[in-house]
Amino acid sequence: MKRRSLGLLVSAALVATGVVAVPAEAHGSDQQVVGYYTNWSGYARNFLVNDLVKNGSAARLTQINYAFGFVDAQGNCTSSDPWADYQRPFSAEQSVNGKADEPGQVLNGNLNQLKQLKQKYPKLHISISLGGWTGSATFSDAALTPASRAAHVKSCLDMWLKGNLPGLPAGAAKGIFDGIDLDWEWPGSEGNPGNVIRPEDKQNFTALVHEYRKQLDRLSRHGKYNLTAFLPANPTMIDNGFEVRKLFKDLTFGTTQGYDYHGPWEPLTNQQSAIDGPKADPTTPEFSSQVTIDAYLSRGAPRSKLVMGVPFYSHGWTGVTNQNHGLFQPSTGPAPSTFDAGTEDYRYLKANLANYTVYRDNKAGFAWLFDGTTFWTWDDPTEMKRKTDYISHRDLGGAMIWSLDGDTANGELITALHRNLR
């Protein structure tokens, strides 16, 4: 499955070795540290749930968003990959608890591994993330009427929170998820081609979030379930699809898109996650974390509920003109990469870092790599610290990672991120 591409107006489409010993519940921050773990991470990338223990991520996260559950044409929740989610058996070497899955056991797959992870780290919250770039086609239909919203939410809570998975005994996956993460890309704006879009998506998304909050509260007996949403960077998309002040009354927090500001769908090289817009940027309008965070604050989002996204991956161009260290230069197209042209995990670029020179814009707050013809955006531990300094300086609610499989085997990025949050 392709890494999701979190579109702006023009977007069309995303090793070090060793083991880190981190004590369980080593969270030292009052802020959220949220990471997406995808159900395709265990295929070509071979990044399993137990790797979150090995590289220290699990001990440093406050919440994992497991991506993605889909919504079918009838508005019901469904698994996007039953094999990965709850059918795949894991060996003792692959499992979190060091024990092999046994033939005939009720629950297998990533969900059983997440269950084991939760046993090891009982303060770690885990939410099911619904939608994503390729899974948002029928969200508009599900949110259309009070009846469709109520039925959709009931379906999702029944499947993911009550744990009633198709073909398994009732409640087989109960207790794994502590909440719902809504990742509708995007209400009222174009996302993946073929998505249903309506002008009334904006108001309907607010109503859908409220319906989730109501049903989650009825389901809860010992405190609230988390309810979060992934929110776009583009102010135009914010205004098209999100009643910000109303939404945050029902959300535990919202995670903002902090990446894909630019990418190889554009002809010129550029930053993808700058804190502020560089003055020499020839493109308009400006996209940056400063623009995004200011947009949400000005529309009524509480600072403490704004969790800023950071990338554990890079965007790249090749055939780049050898001027200005490759920045803001024309290219011939996306750079070759391990999985998807134009997108590369941090761990793979780090392994080839000797081939590149690192450049930084310390004023605008971003970095890049260039070898004379190939250009990559670059978010390393130095840039993670820069981002967490910004998060803390603006009293935001924390950081969100897309996605956890991009880090090194010794957890360079999650270590830098966690260490520098207050």
Query: Which two tokens mark 304?
Result: 């403490």
Question: How far is it, in rounded angstroms, from Cα 376 to Cα 314?
Answer: 6
- Residue 268: count other Cβ atoms within 10 Å of its Cβ: 18
Query: Which two tokens mark 388?
Result: 């967490």
Residue 45 sits at φ, ψ, to 5 deg, of -75, -20
Question: How far is it, in rounded angstroms, from Cα 399 to Cα 388?
Answer: 7
- Choice among 25, 93, 185, 243 that is catalytic: 185
185 is catalytic: yes
Phi-psi region of 328 (alpha: psi -120 to 50; beta: other; left: phi over 0): left
Half-sphere exposure of 361 (CA within 13 A, CB side): 24
> Which residues are annotated as catalytic?
185
